[in-house]
Structure 1
């Protein structure tokens, strides 16, 4: 049985009462149990709290809702889970970035309402991913949040891969899961490009395999379009797909542009943007 260590940084989940945030809560609760960490549930009220500090219907309703969600999170598993919650005055992006400074990771649903309206339908997800101090995990509506027996998938491009590989190898080691490292390329000279891709994967992964000798690693060099390739690969056997916060080449745009938005919109498994 995993004991809860309150000295560890919490797993934070942003909720707003939508079904999407409910799935994020379920995933975050499992993650907190795995880590032996506190689960911290937060809700933003962007229109402001009561300036007088007195009773406020919106704050009271949000607080009751978070108390109910805390009970739900505890009921998902018999293992111990310490849950805290907070109703925060402010805009979602600012609040999430601030709490990320003291968090192990921040977990969000793929869509929202209320305080997290349109969270991943515009620039908000990109802003949180770019500015958060911790990894950001986005849980899509179709993800099987209670079954985590799949592979840990990680996108590799040969630059700024360290945060993604750190997260992916650590997670695979914790779960005794296979790690699948993917490099996507699309160059005219297919045979030579594939050889270079294989060499890049070997060069990049060797120090991490030395550090995590217990992790079984599979490498895949795939010719194609990066978002489509990562989405397809993770859909087959993935538990999560992990990508870095910055990149080049096939992951150009630091995963804060078309690639990240493509993954957030189309991936069938939780997307981890590691920092």
Structure 2
């Protein structure tokens, strides 16, 4: 069954798993906040060596899962417009294609059925790396507290700036504080390896990083004066560890990713992958062109 999708819907992947239903709840609330339709998509995997009639069973199962997800969405966000689609094909490829008509893609970190074990590291990572819009991946068993902060990792890159814009927008819509987290370590400054890190004045460098972060935030503070901003500079060799600590009580962690042009090869940087594996809160991955 297919309903015509409108451009810039919130797109949620559906596969019958608990984490997919959690993603549907998050997506329904996001759609209501943005006054956009919610599109529920199930992609059933076909097997060439199995009889054609088996496809009908896959579609029927997908219809059942999507209808159940629609009930969950309606309960989470009454009045939200819901579109439903069940199709057959390659889940990652079709989700990436569908993201071109979406404002945000929302996925559970682990799945069943049509998404054939939607483990972080396979389909979810592929979609986050190649989607045409931001992708939010949810883990755990429940949604975070609505009064918790939004956390964004800031590194000054184009992808990082796109992530910052998305994070400020999210904090504004949710009326939540924004923690702007920047990590640094003396082993690498300005992209160059420091042979003698002990020679670095850590306190002075830390203060310089704090000033730089404040400068990067100035324009965003002017654009979003209603958002309470909490700059946080973290001295750590491992950016993912620092961001996980900053997001320990967050309702959303936002990071940038450069992605790749093909559905092969290295899909995400080590920091993004680590956050998708370890973060307890939803993680939004924003590519440079997502904006």
Q: Structures share a fold, TM > 0.5?
A: yes
Residue 231 of structure 1 corresponds to 244
| More displaced 10-residue stretch of structure 1: 98-107 or 58-67 | 58-67
What is the CA–CA distance in structure 2 between the aligned matches of 1:234 and 1:255, rounded to whole Å?
A: 23
Whether the aligned pair in 1 keeps the contact of 2:254 and 2:286 (CA below 8 Å) is yes
Misfit runs of 4+, over 6 Å: 48-55
What are the Cα deviations for residues 101-159 of structure 1, in whole angstroms up to 9, with x where unaligned? 010100000111222233234343332122110000000114425x3221110000111
What is the CA–CA distance in structure 2 between the aligned matches of 1:95 and 1:55, rounded to whole Å?
A: 17
Could you tell me how far 1:37 is from its partner in structure 2? 1.1
What is the CA–CA distance in structure 2 between the aligned matches of 1:221 and 1:140, rounded to whole Å?
A: 26
What is the CA–CA distance in structure 1 between the aligned matches of 2:59 and 2:131, rounded to whole Å?
A: 26
Could you tell me how far 1:196 is from its partner in structure 2? 2.5
Residue 149 of structure 2 corresponds to 151
Could you tell me how far 1:61 is from its partner in structure 2? 2.2
Give the unaligned 5+ runs of structure 1: 1-5, 248-253
What is the CA–CA distance in structure 1 between the aligned matches of 2:6 and 2:16, rounded to whole Å?
A: 29
Give the unaligned 5+ runs of structure 2: 187-196, 260-265
Q: Secondary structure at the match of 1:141?
A: coil
Pick the aligned partner of 2:221 from 191, 194, 209: 209
Change (3 A) 1:143 1:196: farther
RMSD: 2.5
Residue 258 of structure 2 corresponds to 246
What are the Cα deviations for residues 182-232 of structure 1, in whole angstroms up to 9, with x where unaligned? 001121332132123112211211111111111111100011121111112
* 1:72-221 to 2 correspondences below 5 Å: 72-77=72-77, 79-145=78-144, 147-160=145-158, 161-187=160-186, 188=197, 189=200, 190-221=202-233
Give the count of matched residue pairs: 261
What is the CA–CA distance in structure 1 between the aligned matches of 2:116 and 2:129, rounded to whole Å?
A: 19
Q: Secondary structure at the match of 2:155?
A: coil
What is the CA–CA distance in structure 1 between the aligned matches of 2:90 and 2:174, rounded to whole Å?
A: 35
Residue 59 of structure 2 corresponds to 59
Change (3 A) 1:222 1:70: same
Residue 262 of structure 2 corresponds to none
Change (3 A) 1:165 1:55: closer
Residue 269 of structure 2 corresponds to 257
Structure with the greater alpha carbon radius of gyration: 2
What is the CA–CA distance in structure 1 between the aligned matches of 2:152 and 2:282, rounded to whole Å?
A: 12
| More displaced 10-residue stretch of structure 1: 101-110 or 56-65 | 56-65
